Structure formats: C-alpha cells, structure tokens
C-alpha cells in the first residue's frame, strides 16, 4: 500500500484503504479514535483498577474518560505515553467482532466495566460490535486503523474533570486529552500552537492584566469585572451603540424577568426551560430571561404599525441568564450571566433579503475592524422545534439566498438550528487559526405568528411580518475572551483600557507629570501615572508586562521642553514630542480603530 493511503478495518469488518490526509478529514479522525483506544489500553495496563468510559475523536484530537480513585499527574501522562509507544511498536492488530447485545453485556460485566454495561443497556440494536487489540477489549462501532503501528505522531496534552455523560448529577471522571497526526512535523506545529494558546489563555491574562475574576463566593459562571476589564467592555459597548445607530437601529431595554405565560406562548418553556431560571413573586411565576426577543415583540405590539414603519430594528445590550452545567463553564467563554448585542429586525417578507444582506455587511465590517476572518454555516430545523414546514422552508431559503447573493460559501449543519428558526452561524478565525462561534442571524416566521404581530399594508389589510434575531459580536463576555486571546492581551490603542502610562525618572518631575496626565485625560485619553520612587527600568518592565501601548518617559529634559519621550510596549523608542502632538496621534489612531 502506498504512503498516500491508510489501511483501516471498516465498520463491517472489511480491510480497506482510504486516501491519507495529514491534517483534516475522516481518516485523521479514524487515526485519532484508534489512538484513544491505544491510550485506554495503556492506562488499563498501568492502572488495572481504572474503569473505562468513552473515548471519541474530537476536532483537535481525542480524549478518553476514566473512573480512577487517584489523580492522573503529568508524570502519569509520561508513563502512559511510554506504554503507548510500546504497544505501537508491537503493531497490535485492531480486530472487529460482532456480539449479540446480551453477550456483550455479559462480557463487560465479567470485565468489571460498568460504564460499558450502562451504554450497552441504552443501545437499541440487538447486535453490537467490539474491537480487540491484544488483550484490550472496547465497545465501539469503528472503524479503526488496521494496526497500532500506523500511529507515529501523538501526544497526550492534559487532564480535566468531566461528569459521566455530561450530567453534573453523575460521577466526576478524569478525562485525558491527546492528539495524533500522520506527520511528526504537523504534530510539532500543532503543539507549538498549543503552547502559544496557553500563553494567550484569557483566564491567565485576565488575572495578570487585572481585567476580571470569578469568585466561588459569588457563584460559578458569574463574571466580576475589575476597572480595566470594565473599561474594555465599555469601549466595546460604546463602539457597538455608535455603529448600530449609524445603521438605523433604535436602542431599547427590556426587563430581566417576564411572566411565565409569555415564555409558554413563545415556546421557550417547552423547548428551552432546562436552560432557564424561574422565580415567583406574589404568587405569580416568572422566567428570568435567557433571550431578549420577547420584550422586543411587546415593544412592536405597543401600537399599530404600518408598512411605512418597516423595517424596524430594535437593538439592546441585553443581559441574560442561562443555566449552564458547571462542567462546561470556562472563564469568559461559557458563563451563566452574559450580555448579548442583541437586535430584532421586524420587516415585511419582501424586505427580508436586503435585511439579511445588511446584517452580513455589518458583520463583515466589524470583524474587519477587530482583525478576524470568518467562516459561515447554515443550521437547519432541529427535531425539537416549533412552526410549520412551509415557514421553515421559507426561512431557510431566505438565509441561503442572501449568502449566495453575497457570493459567500457556507456549509450546512442539519438539525442545529434554533427551535423557532434556521440560522446563519459565523465562526471567527483568530490569530492561532482557531474557530469561535460569535455572530448569528436567525430567520423566524413562527414567533410573529404566536405573538400575533401585524402591520397594515398599502392595501389597508393586516399582514404578518417576519423577524430576524441577530447578534454581531454575540455574548460580550465570550467575545472579550476571544479578543483577549486573539491579541494576547496586547490591545490596539483604540481598545486598550489604559492607552498610556506616564513614568517619572525622579521625584523632581512629579508635578509636571501630574499636569501632563491631567492634560491627556482632558482630551479623553485613558492614561495613568506611575510616580513611584523606583528605577525607570523597573517601571518600564511593569508597563510592558501590563501590555500598555505607550510609555511616556518624563525626565528633566522633558520638563524643560514641555514634552514627553514616547516608548512603545515592543521596546521601540519614538522621539520626544509635545504633549498635544502625542494626544493628537492617539486620537487619530482611535478614529481609525488602530
């Protein structure tokens, strides 16, 4: 077999060759899933009391969940990798067998693998497949590579806790992550990106740059913004408000809680209540909002609307609450309280095409400012949904038609839409080429029907509008987390919470430095002073660690010439310049989003 092909054991037990792709594709997923099996065998060899759970391939590698009374350490991962290399060197074959389900239950009961038994009891098929390699047996549909010797570039990357079946009511297991590639160089490149991702981790940078914190005393998934983090958020919110107003959006604000009857009418109670919080006031039940759309529809219904009023674009930086499981909470990226740059466009059906294109143009403009490329997906009707087939077809066609008109390529994710309508999902690509879900455009014919939204047409008759639910940045918390990692905390001047810090050489310059600070702040610049009696090199190093874009050094010469010497955070020195010249330079950069 040529080196451009890989031998696998297919799900029906046949050996076959498929083209090799070193970076993506089904064959890479097969390699990774097979490597997960090799890892599980190594773990069982080294830790015989461990119970095995599941071990799939995932986007960037694989994992396997283990029930182990101890705690896997970095030293344990090294031992496991060593045992994996021994198994690979033996080139053990992956052998597929089919068993009647009851026989498989008996087999895994005898092996004392309760998680496999539980999975088997939930499988509807009467015949299941298992895979053997050496003395290791695993419940698996396959396919797998033909033999372990095909694995030549792998790495175990970490350990995390994971609830069995993702349910926090179940036991916490230990999840060992790893990755595998066909090519060692591709693996080395990936591992270097992984190290860079650790350096850019927004949780670490959030602490180092004093942006935000999460406190057990406050509660999991609830973000506490420190002054610099709050300033970063304010800058983003201010930018969003100005850009929305330019495009004809109207600012609105809805309440945090609404009566339960409204959530039942919208379908959220039947289709989304496991993600909601509820409360009771004076015997009346309320739902704490997980979305902003209901209040926006009530604003629309507050008076009679004419076709001349449409489209109406309601924009709200709306704070919402969603009951996320504790196991998936992750810094700013997955939280229980967050704010969306949420808007609802209510328009006539014949306006829909242009409105969707307008939102796409808005997304493209904003992502260009922040330095993101993006990819596009369309998500279609899920099993748990409301509305007629006809309305879903109309909505899906509107979204796909707008993308085709803009000549934007997209992929289709079947069954991944919102319960009330299909959606365009926009995945940002950051500096490390990672994908992040942020912007979305959802087309909804169903909720206007349920809430009896109407407008009076040119014919004097009542007609039903259509509604677009859309966000540009998405959840501000999540976007800020992505932004921190994208820039590595080194924000451009227009975004930086602190744009400049004044550094005095000695105490003699403090009075002048204070007057400069007041002058800069009066122009609207975000500046701070470091007037401590410390060495200048120490103060410069601290400012660089805080990733402040500009350091303004003030010594006797600067006092005499009423100037500042400008130093960039990358170590480059600019010539001394008058204070007003520096202020004008920063204002120009902010005006151009630099």
Q: Is position 342 annotated as part of the catalytic site?
A: yes
Q: Is position 594 annotated as part of the catalytic site?
A: no
Question: What is the rounded CA–CA span in Å between residue 323 and residue 277?
Answer: 7
Q: Which helix (H) or strand (E) holds 588?
A: helix 579-591
Active-site pick, 37, 423, 470, 539: 423
**Distance of CA 405 to CAs 203, 228, 275, 345, 467, Å?**
40, 42, 36, 20, 20
Active-site pick, 32, 33, 144, 322: 322
Is the CA virtual torsion 503, 505, 509, 511 positive or negative? positive
**Distance of CA 396 to CAs 14, 262, 401, 452, Å?**
40, 26, 8, 22
Token pair 């994208």 is found at 486
Question: What is the rounded CA–CA span in Å between residue 222 and residue 219?
Answer: 6
**Distance of CA 585 to CAs 445, 516, 550, 563, 592, Å?**
49, 15, 11, 14, 11
Among residues 250, 213, 243, 255, which one has the least CA distance to residue 230?
A: 213
Distance of CA 490 to the CA centre of its chain: 20
Phi-psi region of 288 (alpha: psi -120 to 50; beta: other; left: phi over 0): beta
Q: Is position 340 annotated as part of the catalytic site?
A: yes
Q: Is position 347 annotated as part of the catalytic site?
A: no
Active-site pick, 32, 138, 202, 340: 340
Active-site pick, 228, 233, 289, 293: 293
Active-site pick, 116, 344, 486, 526: 344
Q: Is position 12 annotated as part of the catalytic site?
A: no
Q: For residues 544-571, b (16+ Cβ closer than 10 Å) or e, as one string?
A: bebbbbbbbbbbeebbeeebbbbbebee
DSSP bridge partners of 338: 320
CB neighbours of 355 closer than 8 A, spacing ≥ 6?
311, 345, 347, 468
Q: Is position 303 annotated as part of the catalytic site?
A: no
Q: Is position 590 annotated as part of the catalytic site?
A: no
Active-site pick, 92, 289, 469, 470: 469
Distance of CA 280 to the CA centre of its chain: 33
Catalytic sites, residue numbers: 293, 322, 340, 342, 344, 423, 469
């Amino acid at each position: 077999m040529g080196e451009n092909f890989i031998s696998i054991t297919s799900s029906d037990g046949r050996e076959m060759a498929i083209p090799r792709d070193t970076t993506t594709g089904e064959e890479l997923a097969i390699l990774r899933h097979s490597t997960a099996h090799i890892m599980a065998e190594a773990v069982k060899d080294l830790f015989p009391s461990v119970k095995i759970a599941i071990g799939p391939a995932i986007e960037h590698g694989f994992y396997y969940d283990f029930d182990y009374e101890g705690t896997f350490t970095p030293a344990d991962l090294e031992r496991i990798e060593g045992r994996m290399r021994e198994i690979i060197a033996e080139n053990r074959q992956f052998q597929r067998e089919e068993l009647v389900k009851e026989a498989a239950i008996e087999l895994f009961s005898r092996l004392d693998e309760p998680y496999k038994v539980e999975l088997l009891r939930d499988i509807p098929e009467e015949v299941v497949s298992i895979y053997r390699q050496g003395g290791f047996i695993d419940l698996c549909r396959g396919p797998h590579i033909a033999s372990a010797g095909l694995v030549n570039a792998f790495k175990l990357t970490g350990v995390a806790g994971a609830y069995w079946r993702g349910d926090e009511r179940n036991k916490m297991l230990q999840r060992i992550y790893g990755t595998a590639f066909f090519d060692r160089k591709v693996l080395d490149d990936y591992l270097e990106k992984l190290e860079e991702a650790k350096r850019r981790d927004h949780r670490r940078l959030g602490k180092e740059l004093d942006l935000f914190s999460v406190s057990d005393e406050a509660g999991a998934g609830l973000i506490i913004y420190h002054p610099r983090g709050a300033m970063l958020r304010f800058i983003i919110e201010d930018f969003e408000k100005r850009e929305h107003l330019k495009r004809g959006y109207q600012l609105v604000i809805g309440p945090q809680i609404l009566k339960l009857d409204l959530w039942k009418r919208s379908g959220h109670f039947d289709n989304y209540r496991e993600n909601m919080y509820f409360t009771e006031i004076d015997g009346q039940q309320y739902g704490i909002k997980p979305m902003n759309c209901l209040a926006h529809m009530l604003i629309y219904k507050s008076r009679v609307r004419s076709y001349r009023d449409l489209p109406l674009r309601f924009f709200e930086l709306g704070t919402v609450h969603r009951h996320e499981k504790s196991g998936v909470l992750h810094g700013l990226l997955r939280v229980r309280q967050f704010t969306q740059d949420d808007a609802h466009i209510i328009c006539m059906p014949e306006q829909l095409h242009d409105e969707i294109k307008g939102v796409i143009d808005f997304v493209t403009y904003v992502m260009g400012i922040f330095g993101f490329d993006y990819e596009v997906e369309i998500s279609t009707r899920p099993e748990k949904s409301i509305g007629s087939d006809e309305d879903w077809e109309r909505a899906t066609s509107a979204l796909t038609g707008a993308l085709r008109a803009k000549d934007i390529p997209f992929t289709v994710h079947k069954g991944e839409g919102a319960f009330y309508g299909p959606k365009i999902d926009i995945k940002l690509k950051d500096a490390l080429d990672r994908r992040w879900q942020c912007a979305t455009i959802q087309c909804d014919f169903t909720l206007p029907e349920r809430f009896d939204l109407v407008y009076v047409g040119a014919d004097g008759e009542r007609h039903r509008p259509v509604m677009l639910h859309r966000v540009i940045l998405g959840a501000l918390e999540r976007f800020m987390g992505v932004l921190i990692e994208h820039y590595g905390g080194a924000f451009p001047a227009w975004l930086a919470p602190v744009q400049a810090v004044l550094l005095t050489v000695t105490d003699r310059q403090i009075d002048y430095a204070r007057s400069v600070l007041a002058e800069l702040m009066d122009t609207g610049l975000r500046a701070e002073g470091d007037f401590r009696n410390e060495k200048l090199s120490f103060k410069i190093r601290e400012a660089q660690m805080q990733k402040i874009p500009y350091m303004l050094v003030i010594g006797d010469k600067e006092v005499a010439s009423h100037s500042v010497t400008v130093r960039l955070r990358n170590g480059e020195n600019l010539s001394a310049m008058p204070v007003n010249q520096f202020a004008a330079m920063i204002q120009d950069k902010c005006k151009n989003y630099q």
